Structure 1
Amino acid sequence: MATKTLLSVVTRQDDASPGMAALDAAIALARREDAHLEVLALGMDQTQVGYFYAGASAIVYQETLERAQADAEAAEAMVRKRLAAEDIRWSVDRAVAQLGGMAELISQRARFADLVVLPRPYGAGRGPAEEAVVEAALFEGQCAVLVMPDGMAEPPAFQRVVVAWNQSPEALSAIRRALPLLRKAAAVDITIIDPPVHGPERSDPGGMLSQWLSRHGVRAEVTVLARTLPRISDVLMRHVRDRDADLLVMGAYGHSRFREAILGGATRDLLETAEVPVFMAH
């Protein structure tokens, strides 16, 4: 399936914010794919449903809501100004949401998009809103997400792609959704780290996946790596650099989000340090 609808979400009113850099990448990708770009300008209502702030009055809550609405309007104006001179098809909408209501709001838009283009949700200057947007698109929206690294406003050509394969449903979902990109790539590297000695692929790790991809016209080879570093993410990123790859495809959140938030995991680690765009699905 071709990529014909892109979605991006802007949560900050700053031309230099990561969200605006991701928007620039989405614009370039929409032009490259001849796709329609939808942008949601989001204002965050910082009040929390179910809690009562001692001494707070209805005026305080109203002021918080009005501030969120003003933030959304400012973000919308900034996005419209950025898109006005572009030669792509685009639309902009604005909304206000509390953190607890983010999933429903984002999922309603993500489920009708082919790809959501977002900045990385972890790292300096990020808050819970960025993480909630990514997770809502992946889980409730059931959409693939392209996470752009900081400072990359122009997406690369995606000619050299590393595919992280661990036989999981999440990894297979990401690969299926990435097929339009993989078909166009000059080289696809199916990367397997410490394959299990017992299992359906024990004698030929990645063989069935490579065969299936070849039938779709994808030129793929298999690389089996040992876990020579403490974190899987470090091994993957070293391999990405060794291959001079410009895209990493991987399944997202094989463990629970709570476990990854507390104990860490490959998804969170990669999104904190990735130097290339990361294509994810769950």
Structure 2
Amino acid sequence: MAYKSLLTVACSPEGALGTVSAAAQIATAMDAHLDALALGVDRTQVGYSYVGSGAVVIAAAMERAEGEAREAEAALNAAIGAQVPTLRSSVESVVTQLGALTDVVAARARYSDLVILPLPYGKGRGVEDEAITEAALFEGMAPVLVVPPGGITTAQPKRIVLAWNQSREALVAARRAMPFLKRADMVQIVVVDPPAHGPERSDPGGQLCQLLVRHGVRAEVSVLARTLPRISEVLTRQLRDVNADMLVMGAYGHSRFREAIMGGATRDMLENAQVPVFLAH
């Protein structure tokens, strides 16, 4: 079991080398093909204009988007050129309006086993970065590996923390991450403050652990108390304590609007991730 078709997307040169390097390492380890998509995004949403000005605004916006696409494409080509010569890859460049970005990314993500992207939040990131991540997860129905600025330490993580809350999203993430899980030396299923009256009250994480073990995964369960204000903080501390190489978790258990306004475990983890985060919905 392995990922054979990988996809990465860039809408600016920033972070392209780290993300492509991570994708290339995984592609080499799993004998996969890497597709890279360079996006130029027209962010203008013209609601009204003075007579004669609309065409000028649209032309200027498209020219700027085309320039960004060329810059992103050049960065992707340079990053791919810095990888091992045996890497099988291709680069495509597309210009799109922000409103159509979801369809463009989803059309490629649907036929990819894994999408590798940079952190969507933080310095230098815009609304299009978040839109790309969500497009791959939701409309593209693909798992996403979010790579922190420092890149990845290994293409085959040896210590993985799997966040488990009995949700559909967490189960999908566990199944989609199986190629990584089966190669790991240790997979720790972390359950934070499980409900006293839930369906797994007598054995939190036990059934998932059994499922993974039957697939040859070296899995164990760790039940943690919520001793910090946010679940993301508990997970971050656990990642640090076990020196984990990757976090696997379900993405956006709440609505994306609620996560954007009120916060949530997914957004909190992505804002401060120090290790690669594997997401699925």
TM-score norm. by structure 2 comes to: 0.95
Q: Distance in 2 between matches of 1:54 and 1:214?
A: 65
The SS at the match of 2:258 is: helix
Alignment-derived partner of residue 118 in structure 2: 119
Structure 1 pair 2/156, CA: closer, same or farther in 2 (3 Å)? closer
Query: Among the aligned pairs, what percent are the same residue?
Result: 56
Q: Is 1:71 paired with 2:64?
A: no
Structure 1 pair 53/154, CA: closer, same or farther in 2 (3 Å)? farther
Does the CA-based 8 Å contact 1:24-1:154 persist in structure 2? no
The one-letter amino acid paired with 2:169 is E
Q: Is 1:36 paired with 2:11?
A: no
Alpha-carbon offset, residue 154 of structure 1: 5.0
Q: Distance in 2 between matches of 1:211 and 1:177?
A: 17
Aligned counterparts, 1:1-282, within 5 A: 1-13=1-13, 17-48=14-45, 51-54=47-50, 56-84=53-81, 86-152=85-151, 154-155=153-154, 157-282=156-281
Does the CA-based 8 Å contact 1:11-1:19 persist in structure 2? no
The one-letter amino acid paired with 1:237 is T
Does the CA-based 8 Å contact 2:73-2:92 persist in structure 1? yes
Instruction: Extract unaligned runs of 5+ from structure 1.
Output: none
Q: Distance in 1 between matches of 2:49 and 2:262?
A: 31
Structure 1 pair 40/154, CA: closer, same or farther in 2 (3 Å)? farther
Q: Distance in 1 between matches of 2:253 and 2:10?
A: 27
Superposed CA deviations along residues 7-35 of structure 1, whole A, max 9, x for unmatched, are: 0001113xxx1233211211121111110
Does the CA-based 8 Å contact 2:158-2:186 persist in structure 1? yes
Alpha-carbon offset, residue 156 of structure 1: 5.2
Alpha-carbon offset, residue 155 of structure 1: 4.0
Structure 1 pair 254/92, CA: closer, same or farther in 2 (3 Å)? same
Instruction: Extract unaligned runs of 5+ from structure 2.
Output: none
Q: What do you get for the CA RMSD once the two structures are aligned?
A: 1.4
Alpha-carbon offset, residue 76 of structure 1: 1.6
Superposed CA deviations along residues 80-126 of structure 1, whole A, max 9, x for unmatched, are: 23324532100111101122111110000001000000001011211
Alpha-carbon offset, residue 252 of structure 1: 0.3
The one-letter amino acid paired with 1:174 is A
